[in-house]
Structure 1
Amino acid sequence: MAFTLHERQMLGLQGLLPPKIETQDIQALRFHKNLAKMTDPLEKYIYIMGIQERNEKLFYRVLQDDIERLMPIVYTPTVGLACSQYGHIFRRPKGLFISISDRGHIRSIVNNWPENDVKAVVVTDGERILGLGDLGVYGMGIPVGKLCLYTACAGIHPDKCLPVCIDVGTDNTTLLKDPFYMGLYQKRDRSQVYDDLIDEFMEAITDRYGQNTLIQFEDFGNHNAFRFLRKYREKYCTFNDDIQGTASVALAGLLAAQRATGKPLTDQKVLFLGAGEAALGIANLIVMAMMERGVSHEEASRRVWMFDKHGLLVQGREQKVDPHQEPFAHRAPQDIDIPKTFVEAVNVLRPSAIIGERAYLFGNWCSNTVALSLPSCHTDPPSLPSSCQGRCLFASGSPFELVTLRDGRTFKPGQGNNAYIFPGNEWSCHPWAPLLQRHISEAACRGAGDSI
């Protein structure tokens, strides 16, 4: 509808469109009026992403104009719901799909992508999508959503962005029975073939698009995320948002809280709810930040505790501790039983900061700082400031409505989202990027060593 009369005549569109030549302002107004009629988040997602398919310029216009309201639909938390229903709401493919059956032919598949100048690739194998677990090919919504923000927030042209899903199967039995599932109907391949596939993919991307192409790993399983970061950081321009992006924004939140509370970072005792790749990335970067402020590695590590699905991470517990978790597996608190619930761990350890997917505080005790990172769709963060009677600093990975306490005070939950970090990766095209990225990778993987 925005084609001019001359363009319509030149392109053979005269008579195929209504006679009105419509401005983008009117198109944006129609979009907002239609969106305002919708209440279901998934319906909003389908509508907005449909605009991206039909009118990309309009899509990025409205996204940039109203990023605060639309980002929670295009990105977290609604994108998680969209991923869980991906095969049911499917309209048309977006991005590049590579399966383990394609091994040996990945370069030819990459060559099928129509754009010749890609600068940013976001890739997932779908094993750990947000807090939803293994979604296999359904996880493609994450790379698509991330790259929308690379364009809207960092100004990278959408033609230079490539979302990729690598399908090696799924261990999600529900999906393997789902007639609308769009990936391989097989258990996840964890053999050497999987590693060979990733190697071939990395080589194919850089062969076509150059060594400085940013390759962002997204929502890989904990056991693969760290080793791929170590394996590829010396050779490729890589970034793991779950490990490095989450760590950056969480540490920024703690530093901001330091200004508000007057309590230095080195005096914080941090308790994590969860001990996966995101938690470990944050913990390692917190340790590094403490070390730069004069605290030894051992003392800094002792100030970080973790509580996973098996309970408090302590030395000698029955459940196996991952090698990446060992620095944070401390001796159990003396003269008391090991806490069996997270609430018990809070009451025993009395942390000043809590970081995790979900956190709930009960009783009269409350931390000075509560940072809540990467919540799932089911998180109810208003319970935190309410149970703390407003005596906490709170941030959530997703935006939430205003919280009104019993005494009538109203608070707006702060947001600590990776979107503050990863769109800035456009600097990755700089010739120095591999060197800078290596130092950041070392910090995230080791939690100690060279300063950034």
Structure 2
Amino acid sequence: MASTNRIVRVALRGDAILTNPLWNKGTAFTLKERKQLGLMGRLPYKVNTIDQQCQRAYDQLLSRDTPLRKNSFLQSLKEQNSVLFYQLLLRHLKELMPIVYTPTEADAIANYSHLFRRSEGLYLTYSGRDSMEEDFFEQIKGRDIDLIVCSDSGAILGIGDQGVGISTAKSVIYTLLAGINPVKSLPVVLDVGTDNEILLNDPLYVGWCHKRIRGEDYDQFTDKFVQLVRKYLPHSLLHFEDFGVTNAQRLLDLYRDKHAVFNDDIQGTGAVTLAAVVSAVGVTKSTLADQRYIIYGAGSAGLGIARQLRDGIVQTDGVPLDKANRQFYLIDKHGLIKESLGDLIRPELREFVRPNDEWEGVPTNDKGEITLLEVVKKTKPTVLIGCSTHAGAFTQEVVQEMAKTVDRPIILPLSNPSRLVEVDPAKANDWTNGRALLATGSPFPPARMPNGKNYILLPDALIYPGLGFGAVIAKARSLSDSMILAGAQRLASLSPALKDP
């Protein structure tokens, strides 16, 4: 996105250039350019600067009365003039990040079919699998693609199966925060159907109206896509986004040694959580190995967080793997992950299963499950992480029970969008008399501390743009665990909490 004075020759003229968002400058075309490009009479007389265009666009944006309407306006702007779109975001980044990204993007995807105006990216549908290579090549021919952001829309931002919804928001953040040229990125949706009955019964739904494909058929379809990426774009970064719990970790494990593959829900969330915990233990003058961790929500994100923190303990503190695993207590919809759950435990969770004899005499609820409160009472955790989308799960009783035995409880309610967060950070702050060290997965208003100051609570600060940019410029053939750990450690070193505990 750096400015340049070089001359670019284009074959487009007239309406063809005004309707191409990559070349359209709107009223910024000079008189000379208008004559050369056949635009005389197609634009108002006044030539505007980019500053003037941004002011006009910002005024129009402010007239939209809801975040979703603002998101829709910005999407429309991107489809008209991409330079103006990115300039506007850069000038109002803090204000507009929650609009183009979490939490508003979840609502935009949930309403994707009703807000649809113009196609963007590549839609690969299971019913058209026989022409996948032809469709793929048609999109990439003549293009230098560095980044592919791919989703099957199976588990979108805490709102579940959304069938079809193109992964444009991640691509936008890669451009804003890492400077990756948007021309060199390709959003892809793998439309394998949906189990969302609301979508299947919606006459305006733009995706494939079919129950979600699973098993061998799903694997063959996905593999065909990945092999096309490896064949035609061997040096690209393949970013997996919002795949469901049954596929996310499995696909990452399958392809991570064959291509530069990154799953943000697993590795990105895990890395940024590791960075938050590293900065928190820097405040408490302790180590990762000194902590006891409860992870409430054992889906793709929860498991990714557990593994990233565990690997951090092993690599930075030299703790054996099996011992590091024992510092974690994972809770899912069946309660605490322990041996007695039997077949209800997913294979990938096995390394974190707790033995039954630890929990003899611990009370259970009417379903026979050990609840979060009882786990807190039993384990006396120092770190409590939420990625469950169970709104309000970290109750006052849970938070204050934790704070009884920990001077600076580390509490990370990471679920998004904001309405699904485990605890409002302002409440957790009040319930601990300002002692909690907090990080959130969605933006929240500033929290007032006991000293009377307001502190901004940042969302789970974005680590994937930097990691992705590094992989792109290095033309990495894989994105290794040590690369991700290095990124997390660097991010942790930037934490303001290290200077102001």
Q: TM-score, normalised by structure 2?
A: 0.83
Deviations 1:110-159 (A, max 9, x none): 1221651111000000111111111110x32xx20000011111111111
Partner in structure 1 of residue 127 of structure 2? 101
Partner in structure 2 of residue 370 of structure 1? 411
Partner in structure 2 of residue 37 of structure 1? 63
CA distance in 2, matches of 1:388, 1:234: 44
CA distance in 2, matches of 1:440, 1:88: 43
The yes-or-no answer on 1:351 pairing with 2:394 is: no
Change (3 A) 1:383 1:38: farther
Deviations 1:398-442 (A, max 9, x none): 21111246895533223323x23334312223556125x244599
CA distance in 2, matches of 1:62, 1:343: 46
The yes-or-no answer on 1:275 pairing with 2:275 is: no
CA distance in 2, matches of 1:386, 1:110: 53
CA distance in 2, matches of 1:42, 1:321: 38
* Unaligned stretches of 5+ residues in structure 1: 444-452
Identity across the alignment (%) = 35
Find the residue that maps to 1:121 and give its secondary structure.
strand
Q: 2:251 aligns with which of 216, 224, 228?
A: 228
The one-letter code sitting in structure 1 at the alignment partner of 2:394 is Y
Change (3 A) 1:65 1:442: closer
The yes-or-no answer on 1:317 pairing with 2:341 is: yes
Partner in structure 2 of residue 412 of structure 1? 456
The yes-or-no answer on 1:434 pairing with 2:470 is: no
Partner in structure 1 of residue 190 of structure 2? 166
Larger displacement relative to structure 2 (219-228 or 268-277) = 219-228
Paired residues for 1:358-397 under 5 Å: 359-363=393-397, 364-365=400-401, 366=403, 368-378=409-419, 379=421, 380-397=424-441
CA distance in 1, matches of 2:154, 2:250: 15
Paired residues for 1:11-160 under 5 Å: 11-113=37-139, 116-137=143-164, 139-140=165-166, 143-160=167-184
Partner in structure 2 of residue 399 of structure 1? 443
CA distance in 1, matches of 2:291, 2:91: 39
CA distance in 1, matches of 2:61, 2:484: 44
Larger displacement relative to structure 2 (186-195 or 309-318) = 309-318
The one-letter code sitting in structure 1 at the alignment partner of 2:122 is L
Q: TM-score, normalised by structure 1?
A: 0.91
CA distance in 1, matches of 2:484, 2:128: 32
Partner in structure 1 of residue 319 of structure 2? 295
The one-letter code sitting in structure 2 at the alignment partner of 1:27 is Q
Matched-pair contact (CA < 8 Å) for 1:310–1:319:
no
The yes-or-no answer on 1:8 pairing with 2:34 is: yes
CA distance in 2, matches of 1:227, 1:442: 19
The one-letter code sitting in structure 2 at the alignment partner of 1:70 is L
Partner in structure 2 of residue 447 of structure 1? none
Aligned residues: 437
CA distance in 2, matches of 1:288, 1:398: 25
* Higher relative contact order, structure no. (Cα contacts within 8 Å, ≥ 6 residues apart): 1
Matched-pair contact (CA < 8 Å) for 1:120–1:161:
yes
CA distance in 2, matches of 1:407, 1:249: 28
Partner in structure 1 of residue 493 of structure 2? none
The one-letter code sitting in structure 2 at the alignment partner of 1:350 is K
Residue 37 of structure 1: CA displacement? 3.0
Residue 66 of structure 1: CA displacement? 2.0
CA distance in 1, matches of 2:292, 2:121: 43
Matched-pair contact (CA < 8 Å) for 2:122–2:188:
yes
Change (3 A) 1:341 1:427: same
Matched-pair contact (CA < 8 Å) for 2:177–2:465:
no
The yes-or-no answer on 1:285 pairing with 2:308 is: yes
Partner in structure 2 of residue 446 of structure 1? none
The yes-or-no answer on 1:195 pairing with 2:219 is: yes
The one-letter code sitting in structure 1 at the alignment partner of 2:250 is R
